[in-house]
Structure 1
Amino acid sequence: MSGLHADAVAVLEGWQAPDEGQEKLRHEYLAHLAAHPDGMWKPCQDGHITGSVLVVDPAGERVLLTLHAKLRMWLQMGGHCEPEDASLPGVALREGAEESGIEGLRLLVPEPVRLDRHHTPCAWHLDVQYAALAPEGAVAAISDESLDLRWFSYPEVDEVADASVRALLHRTRVLLGG
C-alpha cells in the first residue's frame, strides 16, 4: 500500500459525513480501497480516487469554475492522483493550482467537504472534494485542460453547473457560514 493509499484510508475513516448518502459513499470508498491496492491510480479500471477543490474568492462571494476541455462542463478543479502526491488534500490543492493558475490556495477546512462518484471516459471517479480560498489579488490562468476559466457568483453556478457542483457549493457555503 502506498503512502497516499494509507492517507486516503485515514482521511475517509476520520471524516464525519454530513448525511446518510455521504456516509454510504464513505463506506463504499473505503471498501474500494480495501479491495484495490491500486485504487488511487488512473489505471485501476474498477475506479480510482480523485481529488478536487472548489476555489472560493477571498471575499467568499464567488467560485472559480473551469470549462473542462474533454467533458465540456463547468466543474471545480480536480483530477488524478500522481505518484509524488503525499496526501488527498495535497492532490486537491495541486490540481487546483495547476488548473486555475493560482498559487497559494488555502483549504477552507482540512477535511473533505463532500464525496462524489461519477463515471468518466477513463473509469469511475471516486472524487474527494475540498474547498479552498484564493489569496487576495489572485489572477486565474487557463490551463491546457480547460476551454475557459471564470468566476461565478453563487446564483450563477445554478445556471451553468451540474448537481454535483451545486451540492459542493452548497456544502461549502454551509462551512463558510452562509
Structure 2
Amino acid sequence: MPIPLSHVAQEFTAYRTSWGTDHHLMPLLRGLATTGEVTDRRNLAGHVTCSAVVIHEDGGSVLRIHHTVHQRYLFPGGHVDPEDSSLEAAALRELAEEADVRADQVEPLPGPFRVLHIDAHDIPERPDRDEPAHVHVDLRFGFRARGPLHLIPQEAEVSDPVWTPLADLTGIVGERLRAL
C-alpha cells in the first residue's frame, strides 16, 4: 500500500516548521499529487525519494556512497517501495540495501535534524530502462551511527562507501550537520 499523501504532507510541513525555508516545496508536493501517487516511481512528473544521512559515531564525518549510474557520491537512498510503512522506513531500508547498515545500528537525529533537507533535483533520461527524465524530491533523514559500522556496498548500484569529513561536506546538509 502506498504511503498516503497526508503522511508525505506532514513530513513536508514538519520540515518547513523546523527550518523555515524552501517555501517552494508545498506547491511542488501539491503538483506531484495531481499527477498520481507522490511516492510511486512510475509518476514521471516526479516522485518522492528518501535518503539516509548517517553521521559517524565520532560525529566528525558522514557516510556517502558512489552511485554507479550517476557517477558521483551520494547519501544512501532511493525510491519508496509499496511495503515501506513510512518515509523514514524507506530511508532505512535503502541504507540496509546499499550499505548493509541495519536500522538498529543507527539512531535518528533529534528534533529538526530528523529531516535535514528536502532536495528537488532532475534525474536524466535512462533509455536502458525506458525511463524519461523526471524529478526526485528527496527527503534526507538524519541518523547517527550507534557504534562502528561494517559497510558492505550493494555492488549492483553502488560502490566505495566513504566517510566524508563534515568540514568537506558542502551545501545545506553540511551546514546543518556542522550546527549540531
Q: Same fold (TM over 0.5)?
A: yes
Matches within 5 A, 1:1-178: 2-15=2-15, 16-20=17-21, 22-25=22-25, 27-103=26-102, 104=104, 105-109=106-110, 111-121=114-124, 122-144=133-155, 145-158=157-170, 166-174=171-179, 176=180
Preserved CA contact (<8 Å) 1:100 1:149: yes
Structure 2 unaligned runs (5+)?
Answer: 125-132
Residue equivalent to 1:162:
none
What is the number of equivalent residue pairs in this alignment?
A: 166
TM-score by length of 1: 0.83
Identity %: 26
Deviation of residue 49 (structure 1)?
A: 0.3
**Aligned-pair Cα RMSD in Å:** 2.0
Preserved CA contact (<8 Å) 1:9 1:33: no
Preserved CA contact (<8 Å) 2:2 2:40: no
Deviation of residue 63 (structure 1)?
A: 0.8
Letter of the structure 2 residue corresponding to residue 143 of structure 1 = Q
Deviation of residue 45 (structure 1)?
A: 0.7
Deviations 1:42-86 (A, max 9, x none): 111100000011111111111111011100111111100000011
**Shift in alpha-carbon separation, 1:7–1:62, aligned structure 2, 3 A:** same
Deviations 1:136-174 (A, max 9, x none): 12111111211311112123335xxxxxxx321222232
Letter of the structure 1 residue corresponding to residue 141 of structure 2 = Y
The runs of at least 4 consecutive aligned structure 1 residues that moved more than 2 Å come to: 1-6, 155-158
